[in-house]
Structure 1
Amino acid sequence: MKRVYVSAVIDAPVAATWAVLRDFNALPRYNANLFSTSHIEDGLPSDQIGCIRNFRTKDGTGHIREQLLTLSDREHVCAYCILEATLPVRNYVSEMRLKEVTETNQTFGEWWATFEVDPKDEPEVMRAVTDTFRFAFQGAEAIARSGG
């Protein structure tokens, strides 16, 4: 199993950051440089455990379906798995967690994933997953800071 881990100090309060990242369908909103469209299948709410997010990459070549496994507003945690993807991974499970930095009113964010990947695809997949998490934190920070 491979593991990608990204952490960040986000210059926005945890409540504002969580308000952006808790929406399982908002990936293109806070990560617009990588993803273009997303919808929750079967018209389910985007915070319902078991709902499926179906989205596409901005370049039009990637398609991913992910299922929400955990969402906790109290603990600021979200976990999901990939059901199918053009990304060449297997057994992909990811978790994102936010914690309040009380002294500075900032947010500490952690996002990680474990998965299997063929050695030939490993460098590209590791970079893609790392970039996804890094850009998501940057986008969430910009939205949270703007009050949006």
Structure 2
Amino acid sequence: MFVTPSVENDEPSDKVGCIRNFNLKEGGNIREKLLVLSDLDYLFSYSILESPMPLTNYVATFQLKPITDGDRTYAEWTAIFDCDSQDEKHLIKLVGDGVFQTGFNALNQIFNK
């Protein structure tokens, strides 16, 4: 789905306000702005500035939470956005399956080698 992102203006990727630019394998690109990064709370939040998806006001948060009954971690990824009502079901599935699940699958591959 994505080609490796670049951070605009050679800013550090962990600098709040930095903008990541993803070129999509299918064409087009997505630009995201880092809004929050908290090592203390194990979370980051970002907004989408530009996207080929027909949505606006997209803000997502990814947070890790410890599970107390073992050596495990709960990962939660949420997003809110506005879109036309006829696009809503499609975009919820696209973000959930195409973005979030793809990201979780990649993390699973990294941590289960």
TM over 0.5: yes
Counterpart of 1:143 in structure 2 is 110
Of 34, 37, 48 in structure 2, the residue corresponding to residue 71 of structure 1 is 37
SS of match in other structure, 2:108: helix
Higher RCO (C-alpha under 8 Å, 6+ residues apart): 1
Per-residue Cα deviation, 1:115-136 (whole angstroms, up to 9, x for no partner): 1001222222111110111221
Q: Deviations over 1:70-125 (max 9, x none)?
A: 11112110000011111111111110111111322111011111110012222221
- Give the aligned partner of residue 23 of structure 2: 56
Quote the residue 1:128 is aligned against.
Answer: 94
Moved over 3 A (4+): none
Q: Deviation per CA, 1:13-38, whole angstroms, max 9, x where unpaired?
A: xxxxxxxxxxxxxxxxxxxxx21231
Q: Measure, in 2, the Cα distance between the counterparts of 1:135 and 1:84.
A: 20
Which residue in 1 is equivalent to 2:53?
87
Whether contact under 8 Å (1:37, 1:57) holds in the other structure is: no
* Residue in 2 that maps onto 1:3: none
Structure 2 gaps, min length 5: none
